[in-house]
Amino acid sequence: MALSFTHLASLQQYPLVIVGAGYTGLRLYQQAIETGWQVFATSRQPQIHLPTVPTEHRLQFDLTQPETWSNIPDPAHLLWCFPAVPLNLVRKFLMLRTRQAGRLLVTGSTSAYIPNEVPITESTPLHTRLPRVQTEEYLRSTYGAVIVRFAGLYGPGRHVFDWIRKGKIQNTTQWVNLVHVEDAAAICLHALEQASDGTTYLASDGHPRTWADICSVASSKWQISIPPFTQPHHVGKQVSIHKLRTELNYTFRFPDLYHAFKSKQREA
C-alpha cells in the first residue's frame, strides 16, 4: 500500500502523541520527527525518563492520575506504547476526548496468543482473560484501534549476546521470535499511517529460531561462552508475519539477526 503525500499531510494536521515513551517509544519519537510529524512524548516523570526529548515536546501523563489527562493535546493521534490497563481508566480517559479526531494505535505482545503447534497468526485464539488483551480488543472494536503485537525486542541496551553472557536464556530448542527496536518503531509509524482501522498485525523479523540455534552461532562465529544444552519446558511459538508483509509491504531495516550481531561486535 503506497502512502500518498496528500494522505500523509492530511494525517499530520494533528500531532502524534506517544503515550508511554519507553524503549520503543523513544525510537519512534525520533523516526516520527524525521518524517515530519509534530510529536509529543509522555511519561509519568518526563524530566527523568525523557532526557533526549526536547522540553517542549515532553508531557506528563499518568493514567492513574486524571489531573494529568488534560496534558494530552486534543485532537491528536495516540500511539499507546505501555500496557493499556486498567480498562475502566482507559475507557474514562478516551470518553473525555474528541471522538474519531485522530488515529489510535496500541502496541502489544505476541504472548497474547495461545501457543499451538503451527505458526501463530492474527487469527490464533487470544488469552482473553488477560487484562491487557481485554483492553486491546475493546479499543480495537470500539475505537477502531490498530493493534501491533510484537515479538521479543532487541537492540541497543538489549543485545542477545548480553542475555547469553548473563545467563538470562537457556540453550534449548524452544522457539523464539525477535525484532529489532528500530524496526518495531518503524512498523508502528508505518501502521499508523497506512493500516485500516481495527486491524491487528503480528510483528517480528519473520525468522523464528531456537535458542539452541542462536547459541550455536554465537559460539562458533563470535566465541561467546554458552550454557550447556537443556531440554525446554515448552516448545515456544513461531510467529507468522504474512499479514504484515502483504498488507503493509514493510521493508525491514534489520532483516538479519546475525548481521545485527556482527554490527554490534564491530562497535565493541
Q: How confident is the model at residue 266 (pLDDT cuts 50, 70, 90)?
A: very low
* pLDDT tens digits, one per residue of 55-85: 999 999 999 999 999 999 999 999 999 999 9
Residues of the chain with pLDDT > 70, as a percent, come to 94
Q: How confident is the model at residue 98 (pLDDT cuts 50, 70, 90)?
A: confident
Give the mean pLDDT of the chain.
92
Please tell me the CATH code under which domain 5-151+180-204+238-253 is placed: 3.40.50.720
pLDDT tens digits, residue range 25-55?
Answer: 999 999 999 999 999 999 999 999 999 999 9
* Residue extents of the structural domains in the chain: 5-151+180-204+238-253
Owner of C-alpha cell 502489544: 108
Asked whether residue 268 carries a pLDDT value surpassing 70, the answer given is: no
pLDDT value at residue 233: 84
Query: pTM for the full model?
Result: 0.93
At 265, the pLDDT band (50, 70, 90 cuts) reads: very low
Residue 144 pLDDT: 95
pLDDT per residue as tens digits for the range 226-249:
999 999 888 889 999 999 999 999
Tell whether the model's pLDDT for residue 158 goes beyond 50. Answer: yes
Q: Which of 18-27, 67-76, 110-119 has the weakest average pLDDT?
A: 110-119
What is the 3-state secondary structure of the chain? CCCCHHHHHHHCCCCEEEECCCHHHHHHHHHHHHHCCCEEEEECCHHHHCCCCCHHHEEECCCCCHHHHHHCCCCCEEEECCCCCCHHHHHHHHHCCCCCCCCEEEEEEHHHECCCCCCECCCCCECCCCHHHHHHHHHHHHHCCEEEEECEEEECCECHHHHHHCCCCCECCCEECEEEHHHHHHHHHHHHHHCCCCCEEEECCCCCEEHHHHHHHHHHHHCCCCCCECCCCCCECCECCHHHHHHHCCCCCCCCHHHHHHHHHHHC
